[in-house]
């Protein structure tokens, strides 16, 4: 029987204005707290599925611990350790036990956890040596040929590692033979063909809806490539999954892992919020 577990990875501190790009601080400050540098706490939460199509599957890997100290400070990654590996250990697992890693997209705060922790004078290594990596095909093309606006969000050396592993699979359909019980859908407002996985009635929101505060349909991030498209996609996404009574899995919300969707007076919100899924 498939078991779903939310796992914490390394957290970040990012500028609140960037996270709520088109919303004024007078509005978004009602939803989140910031430090003296105007930075809010950002989780990098992953979803572990045990015995899913006979495999141990990890959806996302978070930002990880690969940054050198200066960049760790810039992005507010304060933990000294690779938190995702510790979270796996709490479940009696190591990264070598993972059969499939599903990546919604390849921005470093979602894929950096694939890499080993930073060590001075040593290049990072690709972890999960027994896993197959699933990435959407059109997003892979974007990652390998990024626009100047989002070039800094990708890790070219990670792309090479994934390709050279021989275990990279590019997805362009609503299902994949490795995970026949997982349904995939795609949105392109945040980044071209970001992939949303749905398993056992739980849908992985990724950066379409990073957390509860972004349930407000008109709100987008400064990091979104095509904000108007994202807003249209978000409304359709929420409408579709509300009608299907699916639950949302939030990767970046520091307080909520999973929630159901409520709709009243033309607005979406969350109900039945769960901090930890296990």
Domains of the chain are: 3-274 (3.60.15.10)
Q: Please state the rounded mean pLDDT for residues 38-63.
A: 97
First and final C-alpha spacing in the chain: 13
Give me the pLDDT at residue 148, please.
95
Token digits of residue 19: 């996270």
pLDDT at 260: 98
28 pLDDT tier (thresholds 50, 70, 90): very high
Mean pLDDT confidence for 123-142: 97
Residues 206-218, mean pLDDT to the nearest whole number:
97
Mean pLDDT of the region 196-218: 97
CA 56, CA 76: separation in Å to the nearest integer? Answer: 30
- State the average pLDDT over residues 7-34: 95
Percent of the chain with pLDDT over 70: 100
Cβ neighbors of 241 (< 8 A, separation 6 or more) are: 203, 248, 261
> Mean pLDDT, the chain, as a whole number?
97
- Residues 211-239 have a mean pLDDT of 97
| Spatial strand order in the sheet of 100-102 | 3-8, 45-52, 55-59, 100-102, 132-136, 168-171
Q: What is residue 266's three-state secondary structure? A: coil
Query: What is residue 166's predicted lDDT score, i.e. its pLDDT?
Result: 97
pLDDT at 175: 94
- Given a cut of 90, is residue 278 above it in pLDDT? no
Long-range CB pairs of 153-159, under 8 A, 24+ apart, other chains included: 153/107, 153/108, 153/191, 153/223, 154/106, 154/107, 154/108, 155/106, 155/108, 155/111, 155/112, 155/115, 157/124, 158/106, 158/108, 158/111, 158/112, 158/114, 158/115, 158/126, 159/106
Report, as an integer, the average pLDDT of 37-62: 97
Which pLDDT score is estimated for 31?
93
pLDDT for residue 56 is more than 90: yes
Strands 55-59 and 100-102: parallel
Q: What is the pLDDT of residue 9?
A: 98
């Amino acid at each position: 029987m498939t078991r779903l577990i939310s796992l914490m990875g390394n957290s970040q501190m990012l500028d609140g204005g960037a996270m709520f790009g088109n919303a004024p601080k007078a509005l978004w400050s009602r939803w989140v707290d910031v430090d003296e540098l105007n930075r809010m706490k950002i989780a990098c939460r992953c979803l572990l599925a045990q015995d899913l199509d006979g495999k141990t599957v990890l959806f996302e890997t978070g930002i990880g611990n690969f940054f050198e100290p200066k960049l760790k400070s810039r992005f507010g990654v304060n933990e000294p350790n690779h938190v995702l590996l510790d979270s796996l250990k709490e479940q009696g697992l190591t990264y070598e036990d993972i059969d499939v890693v599903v990546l919604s997209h390849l921005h470093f705060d979602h894929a950096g956890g694939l890499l080993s922790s930073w060590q001075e004078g040593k290049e990072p290594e690709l972890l999960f040596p027994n896993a197959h990596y699933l990435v959407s095909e059109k997003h892979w093309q974007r990652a390998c040929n990024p626009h100047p606006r989002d070039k800094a969000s990708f890790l070219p050396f990670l792309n090479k590692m994934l390709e050279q592993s021989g275990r990279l699979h590019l997805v362009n359909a609503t299902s994949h033979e490795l995970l026949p019980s997982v349904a995939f859908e795609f949105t392109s407002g945040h980044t071209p063909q970001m992939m949303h996985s749905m398993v056992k009635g739980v849908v992985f929101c990724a950066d379409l809806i990073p957390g509860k505060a972004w349930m407000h349909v008109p709100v987008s991030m400064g990091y979104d490539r095509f904000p108007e498209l994202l807003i249209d996609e978000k409304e359709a996404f929420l409408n579709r999954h509300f009608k299907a009574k699916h639950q949302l899995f939030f990767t970046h919300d520091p307080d909520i892992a999973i929630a159901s969707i409520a709709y009243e007076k033309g607005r979406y919100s969350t109900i039945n919020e769960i901090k930890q899924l296990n």
